[in-house]
């Protein structure tokens, strides 16, 4: 039975907690933390087996647990990830965009080796990562176009300096084109898929991202194109947004749950 601690008690964290409590894989949620005390209290109230609410995020990995699951933010990863590994606990990261900071990536990579622990990165709201990984040495171009309803993009850092008014968009409109590194910085809660894709493939400076605001869609759609000496790959994933948080796709939650299930079980693993 694996013991899990949860960092982040919002919509995604709640769904992960409920999946753990369902008993479909051998695990128990023992400790939780959220910057909002109301969020952590609300989550615990939903559970029959009550995990302990810790007073600060660094206390999560000091507990007798096996893995910390991050479902909070890029800032949370930057603040807590190293201490988790130093406390010799595994870590699952949902806010993958934090790893596009090269200094953070290098520090955490070294810590995994030094403390013999593992960071798990679920596939999130996209698919085809095994294929991209297999042709990495022959990749010449890699791009992702993400289309979402404008309400799913509200609150992004991008709009602090942009003149675009999401409420005035009445047809599919490209609001951003650039590198994955820039996209993840400007849309930290919306485009972690671009970070994951770039880590698997050509890196954040060579992965192209386009973000489209489409008021006529009810899905979060990701279209990936990869070309190189191997040929060409294209993937289109049409995700249903989570009912409680339209910024997050249902598939991202399911991928997190499946990653945990594999971690906790002795299932045969297909692919990497």
Q: Active site includes 58?
A: no
In which residue are the tokens 């993958």 written? Answer: 96
For the chain, give the number of residues. 272
Residues near 161 by beta carbon (within 8 Å), at least 6 away in sequence: none
Determine whether the annotation assigns residue 127 to a binding site: no
Closest-CA residue to 108 (of 157, 70, 156): 70
Query: Is 125 annotated as contributing to ligand binding?
Result: yes
CA distances from 182 to 29, 32, 89, 98 (A): 35, 31, 31, 12
Strand order in the sheet with 139-148: 173-179, 207-213, 139-148, 220-228, 231-239
Nearest residue to 72 (alpha-carbon basis) of 10, 134, 130, 162: 10
For residues 146 and 240, the answer to whether their CB atoms sit within 8 Å is: no
DSSP string, 77-131: HHHHHHHHHHTT-EEEES-GGGGGSHHHHHHHHHHHHHHT--EE---TT---HHH
Catalytic residue among 31, 58, 149, 222: 222
* Beta bridge partners of residue 178, listed in sequence order: 209
Q: Please, are residues 97 and 238 in contact by the beta-carbon 8 Å criterion?
A: no
Catalytic residues: 222
Binding residue positions for NAD(+): 125, 192
Binding residue positions: 125, 192
């Amino acid at each position: 039975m694996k013991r899990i601690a949860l960092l982040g008690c919002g919509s995604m964290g709640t769904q992960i907690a409920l999946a753990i409590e369902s008993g479909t894989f051998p695990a128990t949620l023992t400790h939780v933390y959220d910057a909002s005390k109301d969020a952590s209290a609300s989550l615990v109230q939903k559970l029959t087996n009550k995990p302990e609410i810790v007073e600060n995020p660094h206390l999560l990995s000091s507990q007798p647990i096996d893995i910390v699951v991050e479902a909070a933010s890029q800032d949370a990863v930057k603040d807590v990830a190293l201490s988790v590994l130093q406390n010799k606990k595994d870590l699952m990261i949902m806010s993958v965009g934090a790893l596009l900071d090269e200094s953070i990536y290098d520090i955490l990579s070294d810590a995994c080796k030094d403390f013999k622990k593992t960071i798990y990165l679920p596939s999130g709201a996209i698919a085809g990562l095994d294929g991209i990984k297999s042709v990495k040495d022959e990749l010449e171009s890699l791009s992702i176009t993400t289309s979402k309803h404008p309400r799913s993009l509200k609150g992004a850092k991008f709009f602090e300096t942009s003149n675009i008014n999401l409420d005035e968009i009445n047809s599919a409109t490209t609001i951003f084109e650039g590198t994955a590194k820039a996209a993840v910085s400007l849309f930290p809660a919306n485009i972690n898929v671009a970070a994951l894709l770039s880590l698997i493939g050509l890196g954040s400076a060579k992965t192209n991202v386009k973000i489209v605001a489409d008021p006529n869609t009810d899905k979060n759609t990701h279209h990936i194109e990869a070309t190189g000496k191997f040929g060409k790959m294209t993937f289109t994933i049409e995700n249903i947004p989570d009912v409680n948080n339209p910024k997050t796709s249902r598939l991202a939650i399911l991928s997190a749950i499946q990653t945990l299930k594999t971690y906790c079980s002795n299932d045969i693993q297909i692919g990497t």
